[in-house]
Structure 1
Amino acid sequence: MTLVATLFPLVCWFAYNYGVPLLEKQRPSLSVIMSMQRRRWVANAVNRETPMDAILAGNLMGSVSFLASTSVLLVLAVFTAFGNLTALMGTLDIVGIHAGYSTQDVQIHLFVTLAIFVLSFFSFTLALRQFNHFCILLGAIEQSQHTTRDEIDAIAHLNTLAAKNFNNGIRAYYFAVPMVFWFATEWLSIVTSLVTVAFLIHREFFSSAHRVAASVAVLASRREQERG
């Protein structure tokens, strides 16, 4: 049961990543709606010669870079916990949340926690690289010439891929929370993992941000139809 509780947040993270695309076939998620807006962004960027698009892309890359650096610090913190395992076990006993785990149980748990933060680091660095490519492609657009729809779609798709990896890295932080609750009891880790999944599903499909983004997408679609 201890091992199951340790692996359960990681399993929930992977299950969410593979399960949400199935739900998106029935109802568009917030990420899908924002992907439509990313396409609009690129389509409008080809018709203006201002530094605004570079500033927006730079802000995105700054956020990703900050979280990637944070993941490195968290990885180092977990390594530090490995080196001070005896002190960690003593601290858990002092604060009264030690659930009778053995040293081996804690070592395995720290290893899984380390894996989560390492995967988040890879997600953030991949997102950073893809946002960098997006900036290059966006800057390579020639405003004086007609840009094809295929070119716009390709650049917007690269932006969407970067956002997907960024969101995946953010979810690693969410599912790291149940890993902390594991130190109290394994059942609390499992319950927190399920609550986290429910929270993420609500945020993607039923939140206020989803409703606002959907409304904007509908209004933009109507305006484009009227222009057409």
Structure 2
Amino acid sequence: MTLLTTLFPLICYFAYNIFIPQVEKLRPSLSSIMNLQRRRWVANAARRESPFDAILSGNIMQSVSFLASTAVLMVLAVFAVFGQIPALMESLSSLSLDARYSVTEVQLHLVVMLTMFVLAFFAFTLSLRQFNHFCIMLGTLDPSVPASEEELDAITEMNILGARNFNSGIRAYYFSVSTVAWFVSEWATIVACLLTILVLAQREFLSSAHRTAASAAIVAARRQKDAKP
């Protein structure tokens, strides 16, 4: 049971990333709706000569870079805890509600926490690299020459890849919070993970942001349809 609850946040993280794309085939998520807006962004950027799109891309990359740096700090913090195991065990003796963990169990759980933050770091750095590629591809567009649909689709797909890995890093942060509950109770970890899944699913499929983005996409589609001769 202790081993299962230790690994449970990691299992939930991978399961969520696997099953959500399947759910999106039945109901569009907020991320999939925003992908349509990314396509509109690229199409409009192909006709602009101002530095507006470079500013937008820079702001996105700055946010991703900040979270990647934070993940590094969290990795270093977990490593520092490994050197304070005796003090940690003493604190847990008064904090734990239903179990007395051994040193090995605590070390294993710290490894799981470390894994979560390492996964977040790799996701954010990959996202940063892909957004960098997106900026380069966006910069190659010549406003005086109409871009082909295939070229716009390729640039949009690079932006989508960056956003997908950014979301993966954010989810790793969310589930890493569930690992903290393990120090209080094994069952608290399971409850925290399930609540995390519900919160993420609600924000992706049932939130006000989802409804607003969907409405904007519908309005944009109608405008584009009316603009056609």
SS in 2 for 1:153: helix
Aligned counterparts of 1:6 and 1:77: Cα–Cα separation in 2 = 19
Instruction: Report the CA distance between 1:96 and its aligned residue.
Output: 5.7
Which residue of the partner structure matches residue 172 of structure 1?
172
Judge conservation of contact 1:92–1:98 (CA < 8 Å) in 2.
no
Q: Does 1:10 align with 2:10?
A: yes
User: Within 5 Å, which residues of 2 pair with 1:1-228?
Assistant: 1-95=1-95, 99-228=99-228
Residue 184 of structure 1 aligns to a residue in which SS? coil
Which shifted more, 89-98 or 162-171? 89-98
* Contact 1:98/1:183, CA 8 A, preserved across alignment: no
Unaligned runs of 5+ in 2: none
Aligned mates of 1:132, 1:106 — CA distance in 2: 39
Q: CA deviation at 1:105?
A: 0.6
Counterpart secondary structure, 2:154 = helix
| 1-structure distance, mates of 2:80, 2:99 | 22
SS at match of 1:147: coil
- What whole-Å deviation, never above 9, does each CA across 1:180-211 have from its counterpart, x for those lacking one? 00000000100110111111111101110000
Residues 78-105 of structure 1 show CA distances to partners (whole Å, capped at 9, x for unaligned) of 0001111111111223456583000011
Q: What is the CA-CA distance between 1:156 and the residue it aligns to? A: 0.5
Unaligned runs of 5+ in 1: none
Amino acid at match of 2:12: C
Contact 2:120 / 2:169 at 8 angstroms: preserved in 1? yes
Q: 1:2-37 deviations in whole A, cap 9, x for unaligned?
A: 110011111111111010111111100000000000
Kindly provide the CA deviation profile for residues 151-191 of structure 1, in whole angstroms up to 9, marking residues without a partner as x.
Answer: 00100000000000000000011001110000000001001
C-alpha distance in 1 between matches for 2:52 and 2:189: 44
Local SS of the residue matching 1:65: helix
Asked if the contact 2:96/2:183 (under 8 Å) is kept, the reply is no
What do you get for the CA RMSD once the two structures are aligned? 1.0
Q: Distance in 2 between matches of 1:64 and 1:97?
A: 37
Q: Secondary structure at the match of 1:190?
A: helix
- Counterpart of 1:129, as a letter, is R
Code of the aligned partner of 2:31: S
Distance in 2 (CA, whole Å) between partners of 1:76 and 1:191 is 27
Q: 1:20 to 1:93 in 2, by over 3 A?
A: same
Query: What is the CA–CA distance in structure 2 between the aligned matches of 1:88 and 1:65, rounded to whole Å?
Result: 31
Task: Measure how far apart 1:53 and its partner are.
Answer: 0.3
Measured in 2, the distance between the counterparts of 1:37 and 1:24 equals 17
Percent identity of paired positions between Structure 1 and Structure 2: 59
Task: Specify the code of the residue in structure 2 equivalent to 1:191.
Answer: V
